[in-house]
């Protein structure tokens, strides 16, 4: 019994010792944790600021499109015949001077018909000359000279003026007037067998070669004047209204290594109802440019006074910007006037105050900041 009592006392003593050790260790852990905690410090973010300088801001409108020659013609045949070789081969890339023969179609058969008609007219006038000499002696020298000027190998000269109504009735009654204008009609059609260059240019498309049978209405090729080009772009109505005819335009190729200068020459007066855009035509004069090149354009529109252009990220959805006043952010209401791809033109910012130059994540009014100027 005494052994059991001794063992109970020992166990009780061990329990008391364990409890005391537990309390001691817990107190040490709490004291150590409290000594590690450091009071929180207020973090002040640095912000880049700029002075607001209001002034004139020119609206820039981006656009892009394909370059086309300002002067271009599609060549069609109005007559039928065998395509003959001209002064130069009818080939793509061939250049021609103004009034030089672009192409010609064999007109031997038709030319013979024209010469026959000129001969018949000559005979008709010769037959009435004696009557004119007797009845209209004052007009005889004029008609005699007209007859002598007729050459069956050349275009007919101008018909003499007839102030005397009786002479006009006499000449018309003999069929001379009808025959004369019939020949002129044939001569007009004869000229269509030969096509001349309307201006200095280059043949960009050739659809026939020498010896080909050409039919009336058949397309033969395309001809352009290099050096003067047009770029047609479609702009939103709001952008187009801010452009002026004659406005200067800066253009670049897609690679960005070539730049050109053009100007707005035409503004379409209608708006496409499906896209709400309007066509704007830009003229570019540059001999180094080629038709079909894809260009990006920056059009200069109207100038807005007392405004400033800012990155769009600086203007909030509620149309405010942050200013820095005594190291504290302050929201200022602004009026957006024009939006572009990455910028917005606004007014309403007081002159000379400091505003954010770069957006600040998590910014709010009253926030303490450290401005960097």
Q: Which tens digits make up the pLDDT trace of 261-299? A: 888 898 888 888 888 888 889 999 999 899 989 998 887
CA 365, chain centre distance (Å): 45
Residue-wise pLDDT tens digits, 54-73: 999 887 777 888 999 999 99
Q: Which domain holds residue 11?
A: 1-37
pLDDT at 215: 93
Residue-wise pLDDT tens digits, 112-123: 999 999 999 999
Summarize the confidence of residues 203-218 as an average pLDDT.
91
Q: Which of 223, 247, 268 is the last residue of a domain?
A: 223
Residue 181: CB partners within 8 Å, gap ≥ 6?
Answer: none
Does some domain include residue 347?
yes
Does some domain include residue 22?
yes
What is the model's pTM?
0.64
Domain check: are 324 and 205 in the same one? no
Taking the C-alpha atoms of residue 220 and residue 87, their distance in angstroms, rounded to an integer, is 17
Higher pLDDT, 97 or 3: 97
Domain holding 276: CATH number? 2.40.30.170
Does some domain include residue 172?
yes
Domain check: are 106 and 217 in the same one? yes
Looking at every residue in the chain, the average pLDDT score rounds to: 85
Domain check: are 105 and 181 in the same one? yes
pLDDT of 220 strictly over 90: yes
Domain check: are 175 and 276 in the same one? no
Does some domain include residue 294?
yes
Domain check: are 214 and 87 in the same one? yes
User: Of all residues in the chain, what percent carry a pLDDT higher than 70?
Assistant: 89
pLDDT at 178: 92
Summarize the confidence of residues 91-114 as an average pLDDT.
91
Domain check: are 267 and 334 in the same one? no
Domain check: are 91 and 204 in the same one? yes
Closest CA to 66 of 297, 241, 222, 261: 297
Domain check: are 135 and 268 in the same one? no
Domain check: are 165 and 270 in the same one? no
CA distances for 3 relative to 9, 11, 12, 212, 243, angstroms: 10, 12, 14, 136, 112
Closest CA to 313 of 51, 60, 48: 48
Does some domain include residue 193?
yes
Q: Lowest-confidence range among 168-177, 222-231, 295-304?
A: 295-304
Domain holding 319: CATH number? 2.40.420.20
CA distances for 235 relative to 61, 62, 203, 273, angstroms: 8, 9, 32, 13
Domain check: are 109 and 195 in the same one? yes
Does some domain include residue 123?
yes
Q: Which residues, in sequence order, are bridge partners of residue 282?
A: 231, 264
Domain tally, the chain: 4
Domain check: are 130 and 161 in the same one? yes
pLDDT of 243 strictly over 70: yes
Residue-wise pLDDT tens digits, 133-153: 888 888 899 999 999 999 999
Taking the C-alpha atoms of residue 38 and residue 259, their distance in angstroms, rounded to an integer, is 61
Residue-wise pLDDT tens digits, 342-369: 888 999 999 989 898 888 888 888 888 8
Closest CA to 285 of 260, 264, 305: 260
Q: Which of 304, 330, 358 is the last residue of a domain?
A: 304
pLDDT of 36 strictly over 60: no
Does some domain include residue 170?
yes
What DSSP line would sit under 209-233, residue for residue? -TTPEE-TT-EEEEEE-TTEEEEEE
Does some domain include residue 42?
no
Summarize the confidence of residues 222-237 as an average pLDDT.
89
Domain check: are 97 and 206 in the same one? yes
């Amino acid at each position: 019994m005494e052994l059991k009592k001794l063992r109970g006392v020992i166990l009780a003593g061990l329990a008391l010792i364990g409890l005391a050790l537990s309390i001691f260790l817990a107190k040490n852990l709490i004291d150590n944790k409290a000594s590690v905690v450091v009071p929180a410090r207020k973090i002040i973010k640095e912000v880049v600021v700029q002075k607001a300088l209001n002034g004139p801001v020119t609206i820039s409108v981006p656009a892009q499109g394909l370059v086309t020659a300002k002067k271009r013609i599609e060549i069609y045949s109005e007559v039928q015949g065998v395509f003959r070789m001209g002064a130069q081969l009818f080939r793509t890339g061939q250049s021609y001077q103004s009034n030089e023969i672009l192409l010609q179609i064999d007109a031997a058969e038709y030319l013979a018909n024209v010469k026959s008609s000129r001969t018949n007219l000559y005979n008709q006038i010769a037959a009435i000359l004696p009557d004119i000499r007797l009845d209209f002696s004052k007009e005889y020298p004029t008609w005699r000279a007209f007859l002598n000027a007729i050459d069956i190998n050349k275009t007919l000269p101008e018909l003499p003026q007839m102030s005397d109504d009786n002479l006009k009735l006499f000449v018309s009654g003999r069929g001379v007037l009808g025959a004369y204008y019939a020949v002129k009609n044939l001569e007009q059609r004869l000229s269509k067998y030969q096509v001349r260059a309307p201006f200095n240019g280059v043949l960009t498309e050739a659809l026939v070669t020498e010896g080909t049978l050409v039919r009336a209405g058949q397309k033969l090729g395309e001809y352009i004047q290099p050096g003067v080009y047009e770029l047609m772009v479609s702009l939103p109505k709001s952008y187009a209204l801010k452009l002026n005819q004659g406005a200067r335009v800066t253009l670049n190729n897609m690679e960005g290594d070539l730049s050109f200068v053009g100007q707005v020459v035409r503004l379409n007066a209608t708006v496409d109802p499906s896209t709400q855009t309007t066509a704007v035509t830009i003229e570019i004069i540059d001999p180094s440019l080629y038709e079909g090149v894809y260009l990006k354009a920056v059009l200069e529109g109207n100038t807005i006074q007392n405004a400033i252009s800012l990155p769009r990220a600086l203007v909030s959805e509620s149309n405010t910007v942050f200013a820095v006043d005594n190291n504290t952010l302050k929201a200022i209401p602004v009026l957006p006037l024009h939006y572009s791809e990455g910028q917005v033109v606004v007014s309403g910012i007081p002159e000379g105050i400091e505003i954010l130059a770069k957006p600040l994540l998590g910014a709010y009014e009253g926030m303490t900041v450290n401005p960097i100027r």
